């Protein structure tokens, strides 16, 4: 974890050079399931926020949900009837699953609950509320009044061609409900006149949220509105001429506000599928990971890696290795990997507790142990590769017929010498001694043990596995296999 503290400390030290009062912002458009790639942004902001607070800074951590962004296209998880809602604000679209007040809330609510489970305390702002409450009114006025100046910035910095009909503000059409299809034809006070592609002509009162700023203007506008001083964002926004680049100029030249300290970060890539994305369905949801991992381990995934480095995420064995790493660093009493073994041996939670006691663990914190066992079962059912899964066979497996004479002799010697009063490590080392005594390769005795008990040639680490089982059962099975 020293690397974790290092990068957060370095950033915080830099930020403190700008003063002792800070607002750290993070956010996402809730257009689909919010995945762990999105969570990286919040984890980075939270890490820096905590260090700033530790240094005595007056700091706030806020989250801006872009609930007023339009639905860009018909995503794979949406029914075809949602074709009619494309280009409408997410907050104005019905929940496709009919369980929340609108489309945006359906995906935002589970994410916010996940943040609670992760121990991240954050102030939440919803973009549609900010617009409808008039918080953007003066910022929109400024953008409309400086339309030409903003257009010059976009043309110069981003290198884009700006059409004469372009406006920094997109009115919401009262006829079709879309927020991307109207062209402004006039502007007076808090009202703009517009013509929509649907054929409707009308006016929109932006003090009531009847429209929103385009993204490249909206971002610096919110920096000004919420006095944001620090913000992490994906590296795609950080490229030359990107939205942060243009935002810096708009913030300083149009809104007279110093842009926030930038923390660009790399994306998380899902093994074999590329960058995580809600719109393509390439994702692992935060809730799904919290069903598998203790919250602190999920945070460890982000905090162990510097923001500028990408994360390759594989929820199979590499995830198990990540948990092992966390367990070693923090001295966790019951390793997750051992619990993965135990839940495949025990028939119910009472047996889980018995196996833990047999293995020498203290079982005083029942609730935590129960949750760990649930996490292990979820990992096994959702992500574990086949070779990790096993079943203790009730009767002697037929596969023992394939064992060599030396393997049978070794099993007999082990049955006579095995002691369940020893630790798992001592038991594991005893297996090596027996292999040497029997004159066989250690790999062959391990294979024989697994075949005798599981009916397959591989399994969990033998010493920890055997000590989890009933001693009488193990001795009897090893003797049976030695005589088969």
Task: Convert the pLDDT of each residue in 379-401 to its tens digit.
Answer: 999 999 999 999 999 999 999 99
Distance CA 320, CA 142 (A): 53
DSSP three-state, residue 266:
coil
Mean pLDDT of 347-357: 94
Regarding predicted confidence, which is higher, 288 or 83? 83
User: Residues for the chain: how many in total?
Assistant: 484
Determine the Cα–Cα distance for residues 185 and 202; give it in Å rounded to an integer: 10
Beta strand 123-126 with 58-65: parallel, antiparallel or unpaired?
parallel
Residues 194, 199, 200, 204: what is their CA dihedral angle, to the nearest 10 degrees? -30
pLDDT in tens, 116-175: 999 999 999 999 999 999 999 999 999 999 999 999 999 999 999 999 999 999 999 999
Considering the chain, what is the average pLDDT of its residues?
94
Q: CA torsion angle for 135, 140, 143, 145 (degrees, to 10)?
A: -120
- Per-residue pLDDT reduced to its tens digit, 392-435: 999 999 999 999 999 999 999 999 999 888 888 999 999 999 99
Q: In terms of Cα–Cα distance, which of 330, 292, 230 is closest to 17?
A: 230
Q: Which of 375, 474, 456, 348 is nearest to 419 (CA)?
A: 474
**In 3D, which of 326, 473, 465, 284 has the Cα closest to residue 388?**
465
For the entire predicted model, the pTM comes to 0.89
Task: Write the DSSP string, 382-423.
Answer: HT--GGG-----SS--GGGGG--HHHHHHHHHHHHH--TTS-
**pLDDT for residue 5 is more than 70:** no
Please give the C-alpha separations between residue 290 and each of 117, 271, 284, 366, in angstroms, as whole numbers: 8, 19, 11, 19
Q: Which tens digits make up the pLDDT trace of 447-460?
A: 999 999 999 999 99
CA–CA separation, 36 and 58 (whole Å): 28
Task: Provide the edge-to-edge strand list for the sheet that holds 123-126.
Answer: 123-126, 58-65, 21-28, 230-234, 261-265
pLDDT band at 235 (very low <50, low <70, confident <90, very high): very high
Report the pLDDT averaged over residues 318-331. Answer: 93
Name residue, tokens 């196996």: 355
Residue 1 confidence (pLDDT): 41
Please, which residues have CB within 8 angstroms of residue 364's CB and are 6 or more apart in sequence? none
* pLDDT at residue 442 is higher than 90: yes
Span 51-77, average pLDDT: 97
Q: Residue 371: which H helix or E strand, with range?
A: helix 366-382
How many percent of the chain have pLDDT more than 90? 90
pLDDT for the residue 305: 94
190 class by beta-carbon count within 10 Å (0-12 exposed, 13-18 middle, 19+ buried): middle
pLDDT at 280: 65
Question: For residue 394, what are its two tokens?
Answer: 């009730």
Q: Which residue has the tokens 């005589």?
A: 483
Beta-bridge mates of residue 59: 22
Torsion sign across C-alpha atoms 12, 15, 16, 20:
negative
Listed in order, strand segments (DSSP E) in 48-141 are 58-65, 123-126
Among candidate residues 215, 231, 232, the one with its CA nearest the CA of residue 223: 231
Confidence (pLDDT) at 271: 81
Burial of 204 by CB count in 10 Å (0-12 exposed, 13-18 middle, 19+ buried)? buried
- According to the model, what pLDDT value does residue 482 have? 96
In order of 143, 202, 407, the CA distances from 87 in angstroms are 22, 18, 69
- pLDDT of 273 > 80? The answer is no
Q: How confident is the model at residue 270 (pLDDT cuts 50, 70, 90)?
A: confident
DSSP 88: S
Domains and CATH numbers, the chain: 2-129+215-270 (3.40.50.620), 314-385 (1.10.10.770), 398-483 (1.10.10.350)
Share of the chain above pLDDT 70, in %: 98
Largest interatomic CA distance in the chain: 96
Residue 2 has pLDDT above 60, yes or no: no
Q: What are phi and psi of 185, to 5 degrees?
A: -110, -10
The answer on pLDDT for 4 being more than 90 is no
């Amino acid at each position: 974890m020293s690397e974790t503290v290092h990068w957060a400390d370095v950033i915080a030290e830099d930020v403190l050079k700008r003063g002792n009062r800070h607002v750290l912002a993070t956010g996402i458009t809730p257009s689909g399931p919010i995945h762990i790639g999105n969570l990286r942004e919040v984890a980075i902001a939270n890490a820096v926020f905590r260090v700033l607070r530790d240094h005595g800074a007056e700091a706030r951590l806020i989250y801006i949900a872009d609930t007023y962004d339009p639905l860009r296209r018909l995503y794979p998880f949406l029914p075809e009837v949602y074709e009619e809602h494309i280009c409408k604000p997410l907050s104005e679209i019905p929940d496709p699953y009919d369980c929340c007040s609108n489309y945006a809330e359906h995906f935002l609510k589970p994410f916010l609950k996940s943040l609670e489970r992760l121990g991240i305390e954050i102030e939440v702002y919803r973009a549609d509320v900010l617009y409808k409450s008039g918080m953007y009114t003066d910022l929109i006025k400024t953008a409309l009044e400086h339309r030409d100046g903003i257009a010059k910035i976009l043309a110069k910095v981003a290198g884009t061609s700006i059409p004469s009909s372009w406006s920094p503000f997109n009115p919401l059409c009262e006829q079709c409900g879309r927020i991307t299809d109207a062209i402004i034809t006039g502007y007076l006070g808090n009202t703009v006149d517009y013509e929509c592609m649907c054929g409707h002509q009308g006016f929109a009162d932006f003090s009531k949220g009847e429209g929103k700023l385009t993204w490249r203007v909206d971002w610096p506008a919110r920096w000004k509105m919420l006095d944001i001083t620090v913000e992490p964002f994906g590296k795609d926004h950080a490229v030359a001429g990107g939205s942060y680049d243009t935002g810096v100029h708009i913030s300083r030249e149009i809104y007279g506000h110093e842009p926030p300290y930038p923390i660009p970060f790399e994306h998380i890539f899902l093994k074999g599928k590329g960058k995580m994305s809600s719109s393509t369905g390439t994702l692992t949801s935060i809730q799904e990971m919290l069903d598998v991992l203790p919250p602190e381990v999920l945070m460890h995934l982000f905090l162990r890696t510097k923001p500028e480095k990408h994360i390759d995420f594989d929820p199979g064995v590499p995830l198990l290795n990540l948990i092992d790493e966390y367990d070693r660093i923090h001295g966790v009493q019951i390793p997750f990997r051992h619990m993965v073994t135990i839940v495949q041996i025990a028939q119910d939670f009472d047996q889980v507790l018995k196996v833990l006691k047999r293995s020498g663990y203290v079982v005083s914190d029942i609730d935590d142990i129960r949750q760990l066992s649930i996490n292990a079962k979820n990992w096994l059912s959702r992500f574990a590769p086949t070779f990790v899964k096993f079943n203790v066979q009730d009767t002697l497996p037929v596969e023992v017929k394939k064992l060599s004479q030396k393997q049978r002799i070794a099993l007999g010697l082990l049955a006579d010498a095995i002691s369940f009063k020893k630790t798992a490590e001592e038991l594991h080392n005893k297996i090596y001694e027996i292999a040497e005594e029997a004159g066989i390769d250690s790999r062959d005795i391990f294979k024989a043990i697994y075949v005798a008990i599981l009916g397959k040639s591989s399994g969990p680490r033998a010493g920890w596995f055997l000590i989890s089982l009933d001693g009488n059962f193990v001795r009897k099975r090893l003797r049976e296999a030695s005589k088969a």
